[in-house]
Chains A and B, each alone.
Chain A
């Protein structure tokens, strides 16, 4: 009655003697296609077997996928940097980790796993911060892929790679591929440092979440989040139930949760839960395996095309792919323009609106929140003078008196300032100040208003 059929009947699976491990890759590495650029494509066996050294930042959700994809794309030498250890909440997507790995170094476990699974690939783990490595370290790579969850780390590596470019040394030029996800959405982008739009040029696409004013938290909470932030920022500081807040300690989160719950009850606010408390305190972004798979594979597909020239890659005419899976599937692939006034890769100072009547202290604080700056620990110089230095301590003390002075007392309208922030590498952010209002010179001391 039933007709026995072999599903593989027409699938010309290569006979075992003919089969070679990389034959599917070789189909596109050893043969050009109609869209391949013949001027740069090298179909030789040597080119195919000698794929470059690549560096991956982050061995988290994207990082695990990236390592797997690179190993199966023919890349032979890979380095991975991640300072994190494995947490149980990683297991729903970071598929190189098991329950028994909880607490171990992500970079080390991931590297070992992929090396064991894919024969012939060498992965060197670095269990440290990306900022711990110097320029010599980064010089050894031909391509860098980022699967990071922090904007700050991205900005650091971006400025470091821009800084590395030496026009007389073609090897100093390292394409940067970056991926990011949130829920069912994500993006991947390719950056040619100094030549195309960099992460700093695109900073306004990743605006920080607006902070709730402290007075709302203190006096007129309305949302469950306000009660949690109050517990987090105010109650904790006041009561110090434990020496130092550890976001990963359930006892600490439970303390905050109870505080927030009591505060909410006082104001008849509903909706404070343990999960929400954890989400607000840790600023948790929802993350799933499938979105990581999409974005990581997009990054590695671009890396493969850049390394082999088998087909044109993103980076020139188009350099950014946005993906959204919430409502059907939607991608938008476009060219993000390089900005001449980019503080990292541009050569013009960026205009920055500022009220000259702010004190330098207020101005410095505002730099953290402004989408175009997002600088948390800035030091500032102007026309050869140092206005404020965060470190070393001697310079900080020397420049601290300036913090009380008004911006208009220290600089003039249209002046250029240089800002540095240690968390973002050695780059000097250049801004041209545009005063937004008339500067009212303060009365001299002793003549109170």
Chain B
């Protein structure tokens, strides 16, 4: 879970630096590497409308120490802003909203640099995007002028910059991320319980030899020795016995439960505890660890993907290609090399750890050799190869998104069909109507219900006959384009999480639209 922040080899015993102290609770999530990525980033917010959701998002990025941010906003602060936006006060009335928000946001963290631009006749979105500043990521909030939207999209495509569109009104919101091309992630932070990979069905020679040391004369071990055999050694022993008796390894659920009973029966019960903890651990681990490793569909997707010429030069795709070769040859992925805690003598456990680490290093060396042999593989950092191998079973590729009108109708049909069954079994209904209704107010926030429905019907003929869509459109009309602070704060939290995931390239971002319903307190993620 925890990344090492202080290098233990250095004789630094005076504790963490001021920065490590301030950011301690987040460094435990994304480590120094993630923090560095955040500090190098510059986020642009094009703000409009009631103007809160983007500012709330920035609050959640300024606090963890994003490098720089810029707010561009044409609005002058008025009374209604003070009822929804926390980063304005009485003194802000009549002044540029961009300027006032930047000032109050910047107070949150002296390490962060904020810039502002009051969009006016002389300062347009076009000027803003043509200046020398390079943005790491752009967020814009609805409503937005179509010509500005086009400029942002053009900038994103040209500079390969991720864009997030955010729309919050009344009790509803959605946001949609647009990643520039395909987005591979190595450091996905899978659940620690999912990552155990012990290769018990295919032990290598050194592991088998190690196991034999403890189990060749298992019945004559002292009580202490018997009670401290590491559980994975116990499992290897009984697997060998099983194979000798049955000819094959246990593979079906029935065989595995029978195997588990054999393992449990191996525990000595003639002791005060009436059993042995290590045998309990072994029995508990059977269903989880005794199974042939299968390639996750997300990893298969990476192996099957044909990177284009530009992508193929990136270290990710070079290493991926080497790992694929490794997999084809060895029929398994490189060994991650970690061993879960288990009852054992300290020295025995450390030896076991070293056996797994050694094998993992051998696998890394094999992949590294393949990397070096590939075009562009000479300069790739060994550490990157090592990290890739360790996470190989959990790598993930998020495909870039291209909007197409066909897609919308297909989703609408699929979601409507799902709703029919969902309604019967009491499952939650699709939130797609929220997306459609908000989307219809992208440029005209105060549209009336009939206008919203008419606009949706243009893209999806007949959609408005769905009574639920009509209700949702009516709820959108009720908000008159105004934000509720809670909904925007919540949405700003989700968007900030996504920005952090995209910038640090850690954890898994959404693909690609998240819709929130503040009435039923639910989200739904759809690829639109």
Contact = CB atoms under 8 A, between A and B. Distances in A.
A92 B65 contact: yes
A220 B497 contact: no
Interface of B: 2, 4-6, 8, 12-16, 18, 20-29, 46, 48-50, 56, 59-60, 63-65, 72-75, 78-80, 82-84, 86, 89-90, 107-110, 119-122, 124-127, 143-145, 147-148, 170-171, 188-189, 191, 228, 341-347, 349-350, 428, 443-446, 471-472, 474-475, 478-487, 489-490, 492-494, 496-498, 500-501, 507-511, 514, 518-523, 525
Contacts of B514: 329
A272 B8 contact: yes
A91 interface: yes
A7 B485 CA distance: 22
Contact of A27 (B48, B191, B478): B478
Interface in A279-321: 279, 284-298, 300-302, 304-305, 311-312, 314, 318, 321
Contact of A183 (B29, B75, B343, B521): B29
A22 B143 contact: no
A72 B125 CA distance: 30
A354 to B, nearest CB: 17
Contacts of B482: 23-24, 27
Nearest to B175: A329
Contact of A294 (B124, B493, B501): B493
A21 B446 contact: no
Nearest to A288: B26
Name the residue in B14, B127, B147, B493 with the highest tally of chain A Cβ atoms < 10 Å from its Cβ.
Answer: B493
Given A7-B46, A273-B4, A184 B83 contact: no
A5 B13 CA distance: 58
A222 B521 contact: no
B83 A275 contact: no
A27 B480 contact: yes
Contacts of B18: 88
Contacts of B110: 99
Interface in A349-397: none
Contacts of A311: 171, 518-519
A184 B507 contact: yes
A11 B29 contact: no
Contacts of A9: 145
Contacts of B475: 33-35
Contacts of B347: 267-268
B521 A298 contact: yes
Nearest to A280: B2
Interface stretch (A166-174, A236-244, A251-259): A251-259
A275 B5 contact: yes
A122 interface: no
A130 interface: no
Contact of B493 (A3, A8, A19, A290): A290
Given A117-B89, A297-B493, A328-B508, A7 B79 contact: no
Contacts of B228: 220
The majority secondary structure among interface residues of chain A is loop
Contact of B25 (A6, A269, A288): A288
Contacts of A271: 4, 8
B471 A35 contact: yes
B94 to A, nearest CB: 8
B493 A118 contact: no
B63 A273 contact: no
Contacts of B188: 327
B507 A294 contact: no
B29 A4 contact: no
Given A4-B122, A279-B28, 17 more contacts: A6-B120, A10-B445, A11-B48, A12-B445, A12-B446, A19-B80, A25-B484, A95-B108, A220-B349, A269-B350, A275-B5, A296-B489, A297-B490, A314-B521, A327-B508, A333-B521, A333-B522
B64 A16 contact: no
A7 B119 contact: yes
Given A31-B478, A291-B497, A6 B119 contact: yes
Nearest to A119: B90
For the complex of A and B, 5 pairs with smallest distance between CB atoms: A293-B493, A24-B482, A297-B490, A294-B493, A290-B496
A253 B15 CA distance: 8
A3 B147 CA distance: 9
Given A4-B121, A27-B482, A118-B86, A301 B59 contact: no
Contacts of A184: 29, 497, 507
B171 A270 contact: no
A223 interface: yes
Nearest to B354: A268
B494 A92 contact: no
A65 B120 CA distance: 33
Contacts of A21: 79-80, 82-83
A298 B78 CA distance: 27
B508 A293 contact: no
A14 interface: yes
A294 B175 CA distance: 14
29 contacts: A2-B124, A7-B48, A22-B83, A24-B80, A25-B84, A27-B479, A93-B25, A93-B26, A222-B342, A222-B350, A254-B15, A267-B347, A273-B8, A274-B6, A274-B13, A274-B15, A275-B24, A279-B28, A284-B28, A290-B494, A297-B485, A297-B487, A301-B486, A304-B484, A311-B518, A326-B508, A327-B188, A328-B508, A331-B523
A287 B27 CA distance: 10
Given A89-B24, A288-B25, A300 B2 contact: no
A38 interface: no
A260 to B, nearest CB: 11
B479 A28 contact: yes
B168 to A, nearest CB: 11
A286 B28 contact: yes
A208 interface: no
Given A7-B145, A25-B83, A95-B108, A289 B509 contact: no
A68 interface: yes
B525 A329 contact: yes
A265 B343 CA distance: 20
A21 B482 CA distance: 12
Contacts of B350: 222, 267-269
A276 interface: yes
A298 B110 CA distance: 29
A414 interface: no
Name the residue in A73, A93, A279, A293 with the highest tally of chain B Cβ atoms < 10 Å from its Cβ.
Answer: A293
Contacts of B474: 33-34
Interface in A1-55: 2-14, 16, 19-25, 27-28, 31, 33-35
Given A3-B147, A275-B16, A297 B486 contact: yes
B490 A298 contact: yes
Contacts of A188: 521
Nearest to B82: A21
A328 B490 contact: no
A331 B510 CA distance: 13
Contact of A301 (B20, B127, B490): B490
Nearest to A32: B478
B497 to A, nearest CB: 4
Nearest to B79: A19
B64 A92 contact: yes
Contact of B63 (A33, A34, A289, A328): A289
B485 A73 contact: yes
Given A28-B171, A326-B507, A333-B521, A223 B489 contact: no
